[in-house]
Amino acid sequence: MGKDKVTEEYGSLLFTDAVMQERLPKPTYKELKQVIEEGKKLDLSIANEVAHAMKEWALEKGATHYAHWFQPLTGITSEKHDSFITPKDDGSVLMSFSGKELIQGEPDASSFPSGGLRATFEARGYTAWDPSSPAFIKDEVLCIPTAFISYTGEALDKKTPLLRSQVALEGQAKRVLELFGRPAKHVMTTVGPEQEYFLIKEEDFQKRPDLIMCGRTLFGCEPVKGQELEEHYFGAIRPTVNAFMKEVDDELWKLGVPAKTKHNEVAPGQHELAPIFEQGSLAIDDNLLTMEKLKLLATHHGLACLEHEKPFDYVNGSGKHNNWSICADGKNLLEPGAQPNENLQFLVFLAALIAAVDTHADLLRMSVASAGNDHRLGANEAPPAIVSVFLGDELDEIVEALIHDEATEAHGRTRIDLGVPSLPTVLQDTTDRNRTSPFAFTGNKFEFRMCGSQQNLSDPNVVLNTAVAEQCDEFATAMAGKTGDEFTACALAWVKQTLRDHHRIIFEGNGYSEEWEQEAERRGLPNLKTTPDALPTMVKPENVAFFDKYGVLNEAEVHARYVSKAEQYSKLLNIEANTMVYMARSLYLPALFDYSGDIATSVATKAELGIEAAAEKELVKTLTNGINAIYEATADLESNNADARAVEDPQAQCDAYRDSVIPSMEHLRASVDAMEKICGADYWPVPSYNSLLFWV
C-alpha cells in the first residue's frame, strides 16, 4: 500500500465527522453538530439515531462491546465493557445499542476515589457522553468518551471540571471579542501535550518489584555513565525502539490521534512523542490514549514503557509540556495580527494571561503536584516549583515599553507606537528559547512545562482556563459600554495597568539558578516545594470562591479533590515504603548474606592453608557493616511508615510522609546502594542501572 496506507487508515477507528455525515440523516447530523459545537442539549430521539449509526459502524469494524470511557480522580482512564447482545426468544441474538445507553451509563462507581463526595451526597455516579470527543474503537470495544458525575450533579472525575472551565473561558473570551467588534461563534482552547517516557527491556522490568509496583526504581547505585556525553538527545533511534514507535504511530493514527514528532530525549532510554495540537479536552483524551498505547505496545517489542516522572536517579526525569492557546473561529488569539486593532486585542489576551498566571500561581503549582513530580520540580532538570512567565526578548521589550509608557524599537525592526500599538505579525523570539522557564511564550502559544509525565493534564488546564476566564471577565466588565476611541484608549490603559500590576511574574533569566529562588522570594512569588506544601492552596477561601464563581467546581467538589489528592500522595508513598521494606528483606539482604558468606568461607579456607586474605577479610567486614545498616534502616522505615499510616487527618498524613517516611526511604536506599557498589554482580538480585539504562 506504500505511501497511501496512512491516509487510508488515519482515523479508521474513529467515529469522525465524515462518518457521521455519511451515516446520519441530514437533519440529525445538523442537530448533532450543534450539540458538539454549540453545546446544545441532546434530544433522546437524536441520541437514538446516533447510537444506531454508531453501532452499525462499530459492528462493521468488528466491535462486539461498548464502554463508557471516563477519567476518575485517579487520573487514568476507566472502562467497563458491555456487549451489544440482546437475546431473542428463539435463541438467537440481536446486536442493539440505544440512545439512552449512548448518553448515560451507570458504572458501579463505589470503588473510585471520591474524596468523600459520594459519602456526603449518598449518590451513585453516572457517566454522560461528551459529544465533543468522538467515539472510537479500541480492542473491539466501541469507547464513548464520557464525564463521570454523581446523581446530585457533583463532578467525580477529571473531565467534568475541564469542560466547565472551557465553557467559562469561552463565555468570557466572547465578551472580549465582542468589544473588539469581532464576535465569535466558537472559542476554544488548543492544547499540544509533549509526552516523555523511558523504554527499558521488559525482562529487566520483570525483575524489579519497584518498577512493577511503583513505576520507578527505589534503589540503584549510580551507573558508570549517565547523560553527560549528551549523545542520546536527538540521536539515531535504535531499530527496536523505531519498530515500537512505528507501531505506536500506526495505532494512534487509526484512532485519529495526530502523533507528529518522535525523538530521543536527554537521558539514556528516554524518548518523546508530540502530537499536533487539538481542542483542549480532545487533546487530553488523546494524550490518555497515547499513554495507554505506549504502555501496551511496548510489550510487543520486548520492552517496558515507564511513564513515571522519575524512574531513575542520576538522569533526567520525564515531564509533559502543555502547549496552550485560545482560538476563536479558527484564529489563534495569541498570534499578533496585521492590523493595529488586532494587536491591541493580542495585548489584551497576553496581559490577561500574565495576570492569570500571577494571580493563581499557587493553584497552577498545586495542579501539577504529585509524589512523582516532587522528584523533578526544582531539581535542575525541570523548572523550579516557582511559577514565572518567560516572554522572550522581543515581547519582553514590548511589555517593558508598555509598562514604562515609552515608545520603543525592539531589535531595530519592531516598532511599537503606544497610541496605536503595532506588533510584528510573527513574534518568533530570535534568541534561544529559555528552557528553564515553567511558563514560556513560544511564538504564538504558551508552554506550561511543570506538568508531570504521567499526569492527566486536565488539572492544570482547569486552573489555566478558569484563571484566564477571570481576567477576560475583569477586562470586559471594565470596558462595558465603551466604544470607538474611548474603548481603544481604555483597553490600552487596562493592558498597561495589568502588566504593571503583574510584572513580578515575568522572569527572563535562568530559572534553575539559586539566585532566582532568592529573587522570587523578594518578589513575593510562592515557592511551594512539595506536594504537601502545595495542596492546601486548593482549599483557601479565595480559591474556593474563584472556582465556584466560574461554575467550575463548587466548595464540596474542591474539598473532595483536595482530600483525594492528599490521600493519593500518602497511599503512593505507603506503597513505595512497603516495596522498599520488601525488597530489602527478601532480595538485598539475602544476596548480601550469600556474598559475604561465600567470601567468609573463602577467608576461612585460605586461613587453613596458611594464606592471609586481607582484602577479602576487609570486604567481609564492610559487607557485614552494610548488612547491619540495611537491617536497621529497614526497621526504621517500617516503623515510620506504620506511624504515618496511622495518621487520620489527610494533610497531617501527607506531612508525616514528607517529613519522616521520605527521609527514612532515602536512608535505606543509600545503605543498599552503597552495598550494590561492592557486591558481586552475579549475586545482585536485580538488574543494575547500567543494564536498565544502557541496552541495545
Q: Does 569 bind ligand ADP (CB under 6 A)?
A: no
Of 201 and 321, nearer to Mg ion (C-beta) is: 321
Q: Does 437 bind ligand ADP (CB under 6 A)?
A: no
Q: Does 453 bind ligand ADP (CB under 6 A)?
A: no
Is 107 in contact with 80 (CB distance < 8 Å)?
yes
Residues 6+ apart with CB under 8 A from 463: 360, 363, 364, 366, 367
Q: How far is the CB of 58 from Mg ion (least distance, A)?
A: 36
Using CA atoms in the order 446, 509, 505, 455, what is the torsion angle rounded to 10 degrees?
Answer: 50
Residue numbers 176-215 binding Mg ion by CB under 5 A: 194
Q: Which of 16, 74, 332, 622 binds ligand ADP (CB under 6 A)?
A: 332
> Is the torsion defined by CA of 320, 326, 332, 335 positive or negative?
negative
Q: Which among 127-135, 270-278, 353-361, 531-539 is the span making contact with ligand ADP, rule CB under 6 A?
A: 270-278
Q: Which of 201, 321, 360, 658 binds Mg ion (CB under 5 A)?
A: 321
Angle at 15 between CA 11 and CA 18, to 5 degrees: 80
Residues 6+ apart with CB under 8 A from 217: 208, 210, 211, 311, 312, 313, 689, 692
Q: How far is the CB of 174 from ligand ADP (least distance, A)?
A: 19
Residue numbers 271-310 binding ligand ADP by CB under 6 A: 274-277
Residues 6+ apart with CB under 8 A from 282: 132, 133
Partner from Mg ion, ligand ADP, none contacting 309, C-beta within 5 to 8 A by type: none
Q: Which residue is listed with cell 474603548?
A: 487
Q: Which among 75-83, 316-324, 425-433, 462-470 is the span making contact with Mg ion, rule CB under 5 A?
A: 316-324
Of 314 and 512, nearer to Mg ion (C-beta) is: 512
Q: Which among 61-69, 347-355, 438-446, 623-631 is the span making contact with ligand ADP, rule CB under 6 A?
A: 438-446
Task: Find the residue with minimal CB distance to ligand ADP.
Answer: 192
Residue among 97, 74, 83, 94 at smallest CA distance from 15: 97
Q: Which of 323, 414, 531, 664 binds ligand ADP (CB under 6 A)?
A: 323
- Total binding residues toward ligand ADP, as defined by CB under 6 A: 15
Residue numbers 478-507 binding ligand ADP by CB under 6 A: none
Is 154 in contact with 547 (CB distance < 8 Å)?
no
Partner from ligand ADP, Mg ion, none contacting 191, C-beta within 5 to 8 A by type: ligand ADP
Residue among 529, 396, 515 at smallest CA distance from 450: 529
Integer Cα distance of 480 and 564 in angstroms: 41
Q: Does 191 bind ligand ADP (CB under 6 A)?
A: yes
Q: Which of 194, 286, 638, 676 binds ligand ADP (CB under 6 A)?
A: 194
Q: Does 442 bind ligand ADP (CB under 6 A)?
A: yes
Q: Which among 323-331, 368-376, 394-402, 570-578 is the span making contact with ligand ADP, rule CB under 6 A?
A: 323-331
Is 557 in contact with 117 (CB distance < 8 Å)?
yes
Q: Does 195 bind ligand ADP (CB under 6 A)?
A: no
Q: Does 331 bind ligand ADP (CB under 6 A)?
A: no
Angle at 67 between CA 15 and CA 283, to 5 degrees: 55
Q: Which residues of 141-158 are buried (b: 16+ CB within 10 A; e: fewer)?
A: bbbbbbbbbbeeebbbbb
Is 144 in contact with 67 (CB distance < 8 Å)?
yes
- What does the DSSP 8-state code read for residue 13? T
Q: How far is the CB of 325 from ligand ADP (least distance, A)?
A: 4
Residues that bind ligand ADP in the complex, under the rule CB under 6 A? 190-192, 194, 274-277, 323-325, 332, 442, 444-445
Residues that bind Mg ion in the complex, under the rule CB under 5 A? 194, 321
